[in-house]
Amino acid sequence: MNAATDLATAELAVASLNEAALAARVATVALAAAPRAQKDAALLAAAAAIRVRALPILAANAEDLAEADGLTQAFHDRLALTPARVEAMARGLEEIAALEDPAGRVIAEWTRPNGLVIRRVAQPIGVIGMVFESRPNVLADAGALCLKSGNAVILRGGRESLRSVGAIHAALLDGLAAAGLPAAAIQVAPNADRSFVAAMLKAAGLIDLIIPRGGRSLVERVQQDSRVPVLAHAEGLCHTYIHEAADPAMARCVLSDAKLRRTGVCGSTETLLIDAAVAPSLLPVLVADLAVRGCRFHADARSRAICPELPPATDEHFHTEWLDAVLNIAVVDGVEGAIAHIRRYGTEHTEAIITEDAAAAARFLGGIASAVGMWNASTQFCDGGEFGFGAEIGIATGRLHARGPVGLEQLCTYRYQVIGSGQVRG
Amino acid sequence: MNAATDLATAELAVASLNEAALAARVATVALAAAPRAQKDAALLAAAAAIRVRALPILAANAEDLAEADGLTQAFHDRLALTPARVEAMARGLEEIAALEDPAGRVIAEWTRPNGLVIRRVAQPIGVIGMVFESRPNVLADAGALCLKSGNAVILRGGRESLRSVGAIHAALLDGLAAAGLPAAAIQVAPNADRSFVAAMLKAAGLIDLIIPRGGRSLVERVQQDSRVPVLAHAEGLCHTYIHEAADPAMARCVLSDAKLRRTGVCGSTETLLIDAAVAPSLLPVLVADLAVRGCRFHADARSRAICPELPPATDEHFHTEWLDAVLNIAVVDGVEGAIAHIRRYGTEHTEAIITEDAAAAARFLGGIASAVGMWNASTQFCDGGEFGFGAEIGIATGRLHARGPVGLEQLCTYRYQVIGSGQVRG
């Protein structure tokens, strides 16, 4: 494309995004006014439509896959839909329908000395823009979570999943229509031009929140370029610290789960911090447990003094989110040593301490700044479902608005209702 | 300055800001660990130091004022300190010391079926960057609120208040030193170069939140340029809607307060929406009440059909935050008409309905998207003190993190503490 064509494409994208965002804003009025039953009816009808449309959805996905031929196996796995995955999407919608309505909830209420009653009430955020990569089923999850929380959403998937996304979107539109809710409540980008994303990121005032969901480069690009507030799901470089007062059996069991249950999730442990007091006895056992299951290691000098067969770790290794069966290991001195390591290398996602010593646990949980601190539990519990949120749109790694799993409640903001009887400030 | 000098200044500003932000980050560890008593001791010692240093503070302010000679009266009023204002700063610090510590509070706690106990705990946000304009006393308020909430803060005031800010800062540093807290907890920019602000706005990862406080152009510039999340205090174009079931005496009393108690505050009413059903009888009385007190008007055609002496309003008038004794007037049809007007012209700050009809009030409060909805009370109650927050750092006009008055609680974020007994996801 030449520069003039680029510019024309960008202008069309802005016009198209602005139109979509204005329609979404209008839809938020209907969504805010919709009773829970109406939103749930839309979700249940959409679930039924996904089952009815299973064959066209799979056919569209097959076309996407054919075109994506030559991409990596991991990429293929993320893009591919199966009958089981389609059924899981439908069930996901039904599960979200079964959750409480987060909007309208009175979060707090108090009365002032002058008689004013002040209520803080949850309300939808408004118009959400979501940029996601290859998994087409993100559309169903995210669309349903936004709808249930009363937000309108504009989703832009990857170029490679355009047909799959279109087919799933048709089912969601069936659901909205069946419940009498506006189609503009869940919109997808008309094409996969990058200029549409660029227009989304510039749409401050039209879009209230951008949620990027995908690999690190996507998230960083969105954070860098967005003029709209971003709720980012960035890196999860999680640590498990085994304190000197750990129950050794629990430590073995929890560490194995934290590292190896699923290695590709953001809550998986990337670094083991082991207390110098127990490292000589416990580290060889922990390493053996994991090695048997195919785990590889990068160990600091103090760990290698105990287990000389471990390969050495560099500073870079301790900064790396492996998302694989790879574990960094460092020996640390007490809770303060563990906290210092985490402050230096961590990403404020999730950290765990394994100990029978409550005071040590309290020091650890109070000393880290991470979104989630676990005591005697696997870091892999950092998950909306496990937290009882029913479903999540991601794990927030920033410090504002929401941290950790982002479920329906976190997709809301609040407003105040102040009830008086003619009070003036005078 | 030539381009090379500009560049050198910008580089120095970035180096200086980065150093300040790293020192602030280190200070957050001490602040997070500080018990309430230590933070309060710092605030009380700072209050005492402000009283002890009253003369040098006033002398520094006199120098600033001498240099600012020739500026407007309003500007002069904002910049000027008096013995009473200095005493008010000291008392403000004492009042913040008396407030509850917002950090560490358990916001929510629940137990999962697998026995995991999940606690959501309030914690400081981290490092806050504040950009403010001419009022030097903002430093004392904002510094104290950040300290009490456990945040480190870097403040950059206006060029015109540099000496006043330095003198007040010295008192705050006395307080920190007296309580054994790090000086880096409250820092001020070393100079008033714009390049320091530019460096602050680029410092994503070093600064966690930017709070601009000042005029519209400052806030818009910060929102436009910042790579760091911004909690903005933007426009307050507030409406008071007088419903057909309003008590006329209450309507007169509340409207006068909402418009004229203080016209320069963001919670003052800028537009009166009066229901067509009561406008013929009530509008002339309301206009007379306000006119007697010096208010001027811009009225739509339907209002002028009732009160022909009123000057006509343009569309632009309804978009204008006057911050003065000026009122826009429009006649509307019922609650839906009022909501439609507010959706079109409002800034989602504060709106009030005056009515004896609870159903109408509920429709109004549910139908507006504004941060604060008032029923039978003056819009001027939108204020941290009036909400019971003790003090506020501003009124948030965005939709994320916090809305309305921003007090100690809103200067916190949260994290989760998850307490297990060896649970694994398996």
Contacts of A112 in chain B (CB under 8 A): 386-388
| Nearest Cα residue in chain A from B363 | A33
Say which residue the tokens 């009124």 belong to: B395
Contacts of A32 in chain B (CB under 8 A): 366-367, 369
Question: pLDDT tens digits, residue range B252-282?
Answer: 999 999 999 999 889 999 999 999 999 999 9
Interatomic CA distance for residues B39 and B18, integer angstroms? 25
User: Which position has the higher pLDDT, A287 or A2?
Assistant: A287
pLDDT classification of A93: cutoffs 50, 70, 90: very high
The one-letter amino acid at A16: S
Give DSSP secondary structure letters for B89-132. Answer: HHHHHHHHHHSPP-TT-EEEEEE-TTS-EEEEEEEE--EEEEEE
Percentage of chain A modeled with pLDDT above 90 = 85
Query: What is the token pair recorded at B99?
Result: 């407030």
Nearest-by-Cβ selection for A400 from B209, B377, B423: B209
Nearest-by-Cβ selection for B403 from A369, A378, A413: A413
CB within 8 Å: A375 and B419: yes
Q: What is the dihedral of CA A63, A66, A68, A74, to 10 degrees?
A: 100
Beta strands in A276-354 (DSSP E): 296-299, 326-332, 350-354
Beta strands in A256-383 (DSSP E): 269-275, 296-299, 326-332, 350-354, 372-377
CB within 8 Å: A372 and B416: yes
Nearest partner of B350 among A409, A425, A210, A114, judged by Cα: A425
- CB-based contacts of B315, cutoff 8 Å, min separation 6: none
Nearest-by-Cβ selection for B420 from A374, A420, A424: A374
pLDDT value, residue A75? 83
Q: How far is residue A83 from each of residues A53, A54, A93, B140, measured CA to CA in Å?
A: 11, 7, 16, 63
Q: How far is residue B389 from each of residues B98, B143, B212, measured CA to CA in Å?
A: 11, 16, 20
Residue A1 pLDDT greater than 60, yes or no:
no
The one-letter amino acid at A128: I
CB within 8 Å: B223 and A229: no
* Averaged pLDDT, A51-80: 90
Question: Helix, strand or coil for residue B267?
Answer: coil
Q: Are B400 and A229 in contact (CB under 8 A)?
A: yes
CB within 8 Å: A388 and B417: no
Q: How many CB atoms lie within 10 A of CB A296?
A: 13
Question: pLDDT tens digits, residue range A186-221?
Answer: 999 987 778 899 999 999 989 999 999 988 889 999
Q: Are B270 and B316 in contact (CB under 8 A)?
A: no
Residue B214 pLDDT greater than 90, yes or no:
no
Exposure on the CB side of residue A121, measured as CA atoms within 13 A: 22
Question: Helix, strand or coil for residue A22?
Answer: helix
The one-letter amino acid at B34: A
Interatomic CA distance for residues B153 and A149, integer angstroms? 34
Nearest partner of A139 among A163, A160, A157, judged by Cα: A157
Q: Are A80 and A208 in contact (CB under 8 A)?
A: no
ipTM of the shown complex:
0.92
**Nearest CA distance, A91 vs chain B (angstrom):** 21
Question: pLDDT tens digits, residue range B79-116?
Answer: 999 999 999 999 999 999 999 999 999 999 999 999 99
| Nearest Cα residue in chain B from A405 | B416
Give the DSSP H or E segment for A405.
strand A404-406
Question: Helix, strand or coil for residue B326?
Answer: strand
Interatomic CA distance for residues B230 and B130, integer angstroms? 10
Q: Which structural domains are found in chain B, ordered by start? A: 3-234+406-417 (3.40.605.10), 238-386 (3.40.309.10)
CB within 8 Å: A377 and B32: no
Question: Could you tell me how many helices (H) and strands (E) chain A has, helices first?
Answer: 16, 15
Question: pLDDT tens digits, residue range A27-53?
Answer: 999 999 999 999 999 999 999 999 999
Q: How many CB atoms lie within 10 A of CB B155?
A: 24
pLDDT value, residue B2? 59
Q: What is the mean pLDDT of chain B?
A: 94
Nearest partner of A223 among B403, B18, B202, judged by Cα: B202
Contacts of A421 in chain B (CB under 8 A): 376
Nearest-by-Cβ selection for A423 from B29, B378, B420: B378
**Nearest CA distance, A371 vs chain B (angstrom):** 5
pLDDT value, residue B3? 64
Phi-psi region of B170 (alpha: psi -120 to 50; beta: other; left: phi over 0): alpha
Q: What is the mean pLDDT of chain A?
A: 94
Residue A10 pLDDT greater than 80, yes or no:
no
Question: pLDDT tens digits, residue range A332-380?
Answer: 999 999 999 999 999 999 999 999 999 999 999 999 999 999 999 999 9
Burial readout B181-220 (b: 16 or more C-beta within 10 A, e: otherwise): bbebbbbbbeeebebbbbbbbbbeebbbbbbbbbeeebbe
Percentage of chain A modeled with pLDDT above 70 = 98
CB within 8 Å: A227 and B229: no
Nearest partner of A123 among A421, A425, A411, A423, judged by Cα: A411
Contacts of B381 in chain A (CB under 8 A): 116, 418, 420, 423, 425
Q: Running DSSP on this structure, what letter comes out for residue B261?
A: S
Question: pLDDT tens digits, residue range B330-357?
Answer: 999 999 999 999 999 999 999 999 999 9
How buried is residue B2: exposed, middle or buried, by Cβ count under 10 Å (0-12/13-18/19+)? exposed
Q: Running DSSP on this structure, what letter comes out for residue B133?
A: -
The one-letter amino acid at A55: L
Say which residue the tokens 């209907």 belong to: A30
State the best of A202, A415, A421 to mutate against chain B, taking most chain B CBs within 10 Å. A415
Q: How far is residue A294 from each of residues A387, B22, B253, measured CA to CA in Å?
A: 29, 40, 76
- CB-based contacts of B319, cutoff 8 Å, min separation 6: B237, B345
Residue A2 pLDDT greater than 70, yes or no:
no
Interatomic CA distance for residues A282 and A254, integer angstroms? 14
Query: What is the token pair recorded at A405?
Result: 């799993």
Contacts of A422 in chain B (CB under 8 A): 247, 250, 253-254, 376-377
Question: pLDDT tens digits, residue range A128-173?
Answer: 999 998 789 999 999 999 999 999 999 999 889 999 999 999 999 9
Query: What is the token pair recorded at B201?
Result: 């706005």
pLDDT value, residue B1? 46
Q: How far is CA A46 from the centre of its chain?
A: 23
